[in-house]
Amino acid sequence: MISDTIMHERTAAQIIADEFLIARAKILELAATLDRLDRADGDIENSKQLVLLSQGMQILCDSESDKAKRVQLLMSRQYEPEWIEKMAVRRRDVEGS
């Protein structure tokens, strides 16, 4: 953690009061998108995108924190620490220079 002084200016009660309608609207957008998919012709059961959306929605409903970061990582290509060797990119060799 970078900063010990995490700033909480609003209480949870204030945040829910301020943001309930916004969050409600976003859930409805998502619900309507799923209905639209449901009504449409064609089969996307094996769609990678659909799987990602449903895994993302599971993150929203689980009891863990850090949801935004976890959704981001879910939707990300993986990082491989050995990429420099694998790609054979010239390695900097300037230690001590």
Partner 1 sequence: MEYIDPHLHMVSRTTDDYETLARMGCVAISEPAFWAGFDRGSVESFRDYFRQLTDFEPKRAAQYGISHYTWLCINAKEAENVTLSREVIAMIPEFLDAKNVLGIGEIGLNKNTRNEATIFLEHLDLAVKYNQQILIHTPHLEDKYQGTRMILDMLMGDSRINRSRVLVDHVEEHTIEHVLENGFWAGMTLYPVSKCTPQRAVDMIERYGPERLMANSAGDWGPSKPTAIPDLIMEMKKRGHSKELIRRVVYENPKTFFSQSKPFVHG
Residues interacting with partner 1, by CB under 8 A? 2-3, 5-10, 18, 68-69, 72-73, 75-81, 83-84, 87-92, 94-97
User: Which is nearer to partner 1, 39 or 77 (by Cβ)?
Assistant: 77
> What's the min distance (Å) between Cβ of 73 and partner 1?
5
Report d(CA 70, CA 59) in Å as an integer: 7
Those residues with Cβ within 8 angstroms of residue 30's Cβ, 6 or more apart along the chain or in another chain: 57
User: Which is nearer to partner 1, 43 or 97 (by Cβ)?
Assistant: 97
In angstroms, how far is CA 52 from the centroid of its own chain?
A: 10
> What's the min distance (Å) between Cβ of 3 and partner 1?
3
> What's the min distance (Å) between Cβ of 79 and partner 1?
4
CB distance 37 to 44 below 8 Å: yes
CB distance 56 to 75 below 8 Å: yes
